[in-house]
Amino acid sequence: MNLTGSELGSGHQEFLAPQAFAAVLLQVLVSLRAELFLFCAAGVAYILLFSNRVPKKASRSSASKKAKLAEEESRDVSFSESAVPSNVVEAQAALQNAFEAGDHRKVQRCWSFLKGSTSNLETVSLASLVESMQRLGKEHPMILREVKLFLEKSAPETAMRSANELLESLGKRMDTPLMTRVRELLPSVAVVPNQRTYEIFVTAHFATRNFADVKQVMIEMEAAGVQPSVSIAVVAMKVALKQNSWEDAMQHFGRLKGSLKQANATCSTAPRHIITQLVELACKESKLSELIEHLYGISLGEEVFNVMLCECIRRRDGSLTGDVEKLAQDQGISFSEATYALLLRCRTGDPTRIQQIFEEVVSKGQEVTPDFAFSLLACCSQTHNSKLADRLLEYMKPKQVPVLSAFVRFYVEVEQLEKACDVYEQEILPQCSSSALLDARLQRTVMNAALRCGRSNLAKIFLESSPSDIAKHITMIRSYASAGNLTGAIEVFRSLQQSGAELNSIVYNTVIDACVECRDLETAEEWMKVTKEAGVADVVSYNTMIKAHLHQGNFSKARALMRQMQDEGLQPNRVTFNELINAMVVKGRSYEVAEIWNIVQEMRAAGVAPNQVTCSILLKNLQATSGNKEIRETLSLIKAIEEPMDEVLLSSVVEACVRIGKPEILADMLKQLRNSQSISITGSHTFGSLIKAYGRMQDMENVWRCWNEMRGRRISPSSITLGCMVEAVVSNSDTEAAYKLVKELREDEQCRGALNAVIYCSILKGFAREKKIDRAFAVHEEMCDRNIEMSSVSFNSLINACARCGRMDCVPQLLADMERHGIQPNVITYSTVLKGHCQMGDVKAAFAILKDMREKTNMKPDEIMYNSLLDGCAQSNMVEDGMRLLQQMLDEGVPPSSFTLSVLIKLMSRARKLDEAFRLVDELSRKHKLTLNVHVYTNLIHACVTNQALPRGLELLDEMVERWVQPENRTYACLIRGSLSQGQCVQAEKLLRAALGLNGAPEKLANRCAQVYNFDRALLNETLLDLVDRGFAQELAAPLIADIHQMKPHIHVDPATQRRVMSGMARRGSPQEWTAQSGKTGRSGKGYGKGADRFRQ
């Protein structure tokens, strides 16, 4: 067979392939020879070591298990005759010895002998027997059978004792499953669990942190009527504390105290750490005051009182601190320095108690720690008690620099600069080789104090120690500026410049600010040029100069600087715009209201959002004369700012709302603030503003809420805040409550100093308004007894009370008292006496007072005095005397007011001179540019009605509405009653619709200005009843009530009035008929008196 070359090559390759594979395999084996050797050695070693042991089968069938178990049991229970004890006593002893020796099989053999006997098993330990069975691997069913047999053979007492011993042994080994099954077994052998049984289970479950089972055991124990032991109560308390359950903890604490009492033990045996944890939980739940009552008779450690005092500090509760101190006194606890330091922090606002605490420390000779010193100095700082700080320094003689530094800062704070410098030079400086070792804050404090008290040598020590320290030089420049020494400030700058330090914009701005503070604007402008030349002029530099020019009233220069800084690429910031707006508001030029808002718009256009400061400035500009647009824009701006409202802005908003006199705006704002949770109030001034606002709204509930909240936070009220509170209560006709509050504060050491003559005068004015003259004189006597400074205001308030109560006989004595106190009567005094005589009808005595004032003093009667005399003339119908008095008033240059016009109308009306009344009003209002208010119009309308000129009065009502003068209840009362008296019932009904804002009102009165928002309900019911009596129940009264129900559901119509209307229309129709006729009042008939046509639509 012939083969080609290619075929021959292919065959040759196939032949060589196995040989190549073998060669490769051999090469691999050679490279792995070490690993293969080790593997083989390990296999040989395993065979040699473990070849004689046969592993058990991994699984067995259920039948084989049972067979094995039965075989094991038979083997265990059988023993040779030679091992059988001769008697029961020997068997019991052998069982115990076998258990102690660890021979558990012998224990089982002994038990097998004993359970076959009839003897008592009192000495046999069931716990040992069960443990042996467990060691031998017995299953629970077998163990439970043996336990049941043991308990059945034992006496009841022995069974109970043995069961408890067994349960306790299982509990120690935390074998709760077997414990539970043993417990379930007990009822079958007539063994009732006792206190010890429950105690074992409670302890075991607590050890395994199974708190739910602990509670369940407690419930079962209570159901069984078993009283808990001390240990059970302690464990139950631990569980409650672990779960932060206050009610459960207190319940178990009460049981613990009861258990101790039954056991004739003392509460001091309770674990102290449990009491500490209970106190901590009480602090967490704000229940400390409740717990303190239960802690008497329990021995408490100092750490417990420290926890309590820390809670008092957190809550700032002085009364709670007093309770803790009382408990400590009962315990006889001797406080350490750390506890005294905490107690000082609790009593920060009680200078008397602080002094007592320090005296206690001194009397005991205790060493004062730094913490105690810091706490006491903090208390002294709040009360500015430098004498106590001096005593502390003398007693302590501190050497620690931090403590001495605290003394230095305290003395600087209370303006004892010399003392601060002495402490530094005599105590601190010798300990520090260089002032550079001290912290920068202390250095600036001492340097500032040294400059202010003229000890420049001490200040220079700091500068010499670090000649290039910019912060120190800035502090010295500011100190010189505060003292008005601009030359010294500039010299400090020169020295810093010569030191070679790199000067930044802050240094230059400090010098410019010093020039402005020293009111040297020319030098400030020169330094501004220097700053520009140095290339460090920034926004702060320009703002300082703008502020200086604004203080000078140079608005044009300030605006020019703003343009200049923009030209130089600097953008005005909030400070720039706020300073400009504030300057405009302070100057108060009326034509700048629009310009102010132009600045706000410019501020927004520049990308600078208004902030809280901007809003506070704009709020200052709101007054009672401010327009609605300005008010709306300001309040909208407040809502639009991104920053949350802080306490200062809150106070400004409330005060502005009170100032503008818009009740609806104030009510809405207070509602928003009350619902807001983001504002935290910490100052008494803000609380005062809120109290004033709520008082103005007659919302006494929130007035007292604010007051109680402030007192609950331990915020001491200032005189202004207290004045706002008293005024709010008095103005709401509850002067007795205000006086009671003053008496309570008089006994409070923290608030006693806030009481002053102004507050007592508010009480006097309140009793005067309420015509309680006896109470007013009682307050006056108290003021005299307590050496309250008397003033003309207090005496004038008493005279006013006499005038209101008709007790003018008391006035001479008051005037004599004024003279005895060295107080001269003023115009208000004479005016009040004069007014009292006029109200008594003794106008001649009033004129005598006026004559006496003219002769004995240089005072001239004012408009109020003339008005009082004119009112007296009107009451006595002395027209000629009144006109002469008016002429005298005008001759003396005393301008009349709207009240003067009202009195003159009354004077002329009673004299039946209606035209003269109109003439006087027109003439005086034109001459003195008086705007007629609602009182003047109402008095004119009343004069028209009483002088039988009702149409003229109706024309005045139209004129009022046309001029946007809103009528009041008295205005409509005059016209409605006048119309009804003249038989014009339709006219009366139309007027009532206009007052209520209902459909069917006359065309000229059909707008909001004619509406009375708080219409007198008595007048409404009176008018409806009058219409019924005149036979217009169905035609007028019923439709009116229907419209009220439909359009004004908040207006209450008396049910008795509605019944009268329904009974009045019963003869002519049903309620459904007159309801359908609502608004159809334009009919003719009886009662449409003369002049009713003008009211028909």
- What is the distance between the alpha carbons of residues 1087 and 1090, in angstroms, rounded to a whole number? 9
CA distances from residue 119 to 115, 155, 305, 1019 in whole angstroms, order as listed: 9, 11, 60, 105
Q: Is the model's pLDDT at 730 over the cut of 60?
A: yes
CA-wise closest residue to 701 among 714, 712, 716, 690: 690
**Of 10-24, 447-461, 921-935, highest mean pLDDT:** 921-935
Q: What is the mean pLDDT of residues 1013-1036?
A: 88
Cβ neighbours, 10 Å, residue 312: 24
Q: Is the model's pLDDT at 267 over the cut of 70?
A: no
Residue 479 identity: S
* Least confident stretch, 193-202, 371-380, 668-677, 728-737: 668-677
- What is the distance between the alpha carbons of residues 442 and 513, in angstroms, rounded to a whole number? 24
Distant-in-sequence, close-in-space partners of 924: CB < 8 Å, separation ≥ 6:
896, 900, 901, 904, 930
The structure tokens 């340097």 sit at 447
DSSP classification of residue 862: -
Q: CA 795, 796, 800, 806: dihedral to nearest 10 degrees?
A: 50
Q: Is the model's pLDDT at 944 over the cut of 90?
A: yes
- Specify the length of the chain in residues: 1097
Position 460 confidence tier, pLDDT thresholds 50, 70, 90: low
Q: Are 832 and 814 in contact (CB under 8 A)?
A: no
Q: What is the pLDDT of residues 1035-1058, one digit of tens each?
A: 898 999 999 988 888 888 888 988
1071, two tokens: 């309620």
Output the DSSP codes for 591-635: GGHHHHHHHHHHHHHTT----HHHHHHHHHT--TT--HHHHHHHH
- What is the distance between the alpha carbons of residues 314 and 1087, in angstroms, rounded to a whole number? 75
CA-wise closest residue to 1000 among 963, 1034, 1044, 1033: 1044
On the 0-12 / 13-18 / 19+ scale of CB atoms within 10 A, 138 is buried
- What is the distance between the alpha carbons of residues 112 and 881, in angstroms, rounded to a whole number? 134
On the 0-12 / 13-18 / 19+ scale of CB atoms within 10 A, 605 is exposed
SS3 category, 1013: coil
The residue ranking higher by pLDDT, 443 or 352, is: 352
Q: What percent of the chain has pLDDT over 70?
A: 85
- How much is the pLDDT for 52? 47
Q: CA 847, 849, 852, 858: dihedral to nearest 10 degrees?
A: -100
Q: Is the model's pLDDT at 697 over the cut of 70?
A: yes
- How much is the pLDDT for 50? 60
582, two tokens: 């504030």
- How much is the pLDDT for 973? 93
CA-wise closest residue to 194 among 183, 204, 185: 183
Position 1022 confidence tier, pLDDT thresholds 50, 70, 90: very high
Q: What is the pLDDT of residues 206-256, one digit of tens each?
A: 777 777 887 888 888 878 888 777 777 778 778 877 777 777 777 777 777
The residue ranking higher by pLDDT, 94 or 1080, is: 94
Q: What is the pLDDT of residues 525-557, one digit of tens each?
A: 898 999 888 888 899 999 899 888 888 888 888
Q: For residue 588, which phi and psi values (nearest 5 degrees)?
A: 70, 30
Q: Are 357 and 347 in contact (CB under 8 A)?
A: yes
Q: Is the model's pLDDT at 269 over the cut of 60?
A: no
Average pLDDT of the chain?
79
- How much is the pLDDT for 246? 79
Q: What is the pLDDT of residues 630-686, one digit of tens each?
A: 888 888 887 887 777 777 777 788 888 878 776 677 677 767 666 665 566 777 888
- How much is the pLDDT for 663? 67
Q: Is the model's pLDDT at 264 over the cut of 60?
A: no
Q: What is the mean pLDDT of residues 120-142?
A: 80
Angle at 855 between CA 853 and CA 858, to 5 degrees: 70
- How much is the pLDDT for 654? 80
- How much is the pLDDT for 433? 54
Q: For residue 84, which phi and psi values (nearest 5 degrees)?
A: -75, 125
Q: What is the mean pLDDT of residues 965-992?
A: 91
Q: Is the model's pLDDT at 437 over the cut of 70?
A: no
Overall pTM surpassing 0.75 (yes/no): no
Q: Kind and range of the H or E element at 179?
A: helix 176-185
- How much is the pLDDT for 179? 82
- How much is the pLDDT for 12? 43
Residue 848 identity: A
SS3 category, 263: coil
CA distances from residue 673 to 543, 656, 684, 727 in whole angstroms, order as listed: 34, 14, 17, 22
Cβ neighbours, 10 Å, residue 417: 19
- How much is the pLDDT for 985? 92
* Least confident stretch, 374-378, 461-465, 964-968: 461-465
Total H helices, total E strands in the chain: 59, 0
The residue ranking higher by pLDDT, 478 or 530, is: 530
Position 918 confidence tier, pLDDT thresholds 50, 70, 90: very high
CA-wise closest residue to 399 among 430, 378, 377, 422: 430
Q: Is the model's pLDDT at 16 over the cut of 70?
A: no
- What is the distance between the alpha carbons of residues 150 and 876, in angstroms, rounded to a whole number? 117
Cβ neighbours, 10 Å, residue 1056: 10
Locate all alpha helices (DSSP H) within 347-439, ordered by sequence. Answer: 351-364, 370-383, 386-396, 401-413, 417-423
Partnered with residue 984 across adjacent β-strands are 1088
- How much is the pLDDT for 821? 81
**Of 99-108, 318-327, 422-431, 1025-1034, highest mean pLDDT:** 1025-1034
Q: How far is CA 133 from the centre of its chain?
A: 68
* Least confident stretch, 155-169, 426-440, 880-894: 426-440
- How much is the pLDDT for 588? 63
Q: What is the pLDDT of residues 829-887, one digit of tens each?
A: 888 888 888 888 888 888 888 888 888 888 888 888 888 888 888 888 888 888 988 89
Distant-in-sequence, close-in-space partners of 674: CB < 8 Å, separation ≥ 6:
702
Q: What percent of the chain has pLDDT over 90?
A: 8
For 204-313, strand residue ranges (E) read: none
Q: What is the mean pLDDT of residues 158-187?
A: 82
